[in-house]
Structure 1
Amino acid sequence: MASQRVFQVGLRRAGVPMFSRMQPAGRIAQRRFAATQHVEESEGQEILRKQRLQRPVSPHLSIYRPQITWYGSALNRVTGIMLSGSLYLFGIAYLAAPAMGWHLETPSMVAAVAAWPVFAKVGAKVALAFPFFYHSLNGLRHLSWDLGLGFKNTTVMRTGWAVVATSVVAGLYYTFLG
């Protein structure tokens, strides 16, 4: 279809200088069959407003059924940002510690964490364990996709839920038994 259109436009361009005495050579003759009239600015805006009401609305994500791939992708990004952000913050604090007078060497960190109440220790382990295991296991899943394995819908769903379950089990093990 597009090649036919290009051919027709080319014929028109080639034929315009020969058959039309009113158009200078090299110019394209345009024909507009729509009737036009001058309208005021406010009237034109009203026409556009009415046309917008008749246009179809683009569907939103809320009309689709949620899938494990959506949540898995979002959670992978969020856990990656959480882990890398905390690594960068600690790295910058560790580098700035001597100049600021902070003590972030290992013995002082161990002593500080040992003084925390139990719920704070468990909360810190949970905040690190679940994102770490989910992001790591989902990274292995993505590496298998890079090899071309596991692209069937059932396999994608099964491995998505397997990553969630395994990261929960590993996170709980690390939090309470590790």
Structure 2
Amino acid sequence: MITTESVPASSADSILASQRLNRPVSPHLTIYQPQLTWYLSMTTRITGVGLSGIFYLYTIGYVFLSPFGVDMSIANISRKWGEMGTAVKMAVKAPIAAMFGFHFWNGVRHLVWDTGRELTVRGVYRTGYGVLGLTAASTLGLLVL
């Protein structure tokens, strides 16, 4: 025979909390070995957010700061850019060039996949490493401009 007992609501929460402490924890991402595909997927999203954020910040600044006398025109920004030192220019250009290069080449990679090519595990990794190599080369190329 099974018996039950009436428990007040205040102690029911503490009983439930103690039972939850004994419950096994479900496996999480830590049980999986990180893969190149994870990192490339996350980086694509991050670079997309970063590039669009830069675009939106400039656009919002151009619209809302102009009435306050802040000149956000391309001519003014180009003039100020020319006055900056090389180290500052490289510090600003490097992350933007890397984000642009990576996002561009990974977009090309996805277009290749859309044609039905390189959809094997080996092909996915080959194109992933290709994206990394082309990103490095294009970042260096953009830095010397």
> Is the shorter-chain TM-score for this pair beyond 0.5, marking a shared fold?
yes
Change (3 A) 1:46 1:111: closer
Q: Among residues 96, 100, 105, which one is paired with 1:137 in the alignment?
A: 105
CA distance in 2 between counterparts of 1:108 and 1:44 reads 67
Does residue 171 of the first structure (1) align with residue 110 of the second (2)?
no
For the pair shown, which has the larger CA radius of gyration, 1 or 2?
A: 1
CA distance in 1 between counterparts of 2:10 and 2:73 reads 70
Q: Among residues 64, 68, 71, which one is paired with 2:39 in the alignment?
A: 71
Change (3 A) 1:90 1:45: closer
The Cα of 1:106 is off from its aligned counterpart by 3.0
Q: Secondary structure at the match of 1:99?
A: helix
Report 1:1-178 matches (<5 A). 35-41=3-9, 44-45=12-13, 47-176=15-144, 178=145
CA distance in 2 between counterparts of 1:73 and 1:34 reads 53
Q: Normalising by structure 2, what TM-score?
A: 0.85
Q: Secondary structure at the match of 2:72?
A: coil
CA distance in 2 between counterparts of 1:99 and 1:136 reads 35
Q: Which runs of 5+ in 1 are unaligned?
A: 1-32
Aligned sequence identity (%): 37
CA distance in 1 between counterparts of 2:110 and 2:34 reads 20
Q: Which runs of 5+ in 2 are unaligned?
A: none
Q: Secondary structure at the match of 2:117?
A: coil
CA distance in 2 between counterparts of 1:48 and 1:89 reads 48
Change (3 A) 1:36 1:147: farther
Q: Secondary structure at the match of 2:26?
A: coil
CA distance in 1 between counterparts of 2:74 and 2:129 reads 37
Q: Secondary structure at the match of 1:102?
A: coil
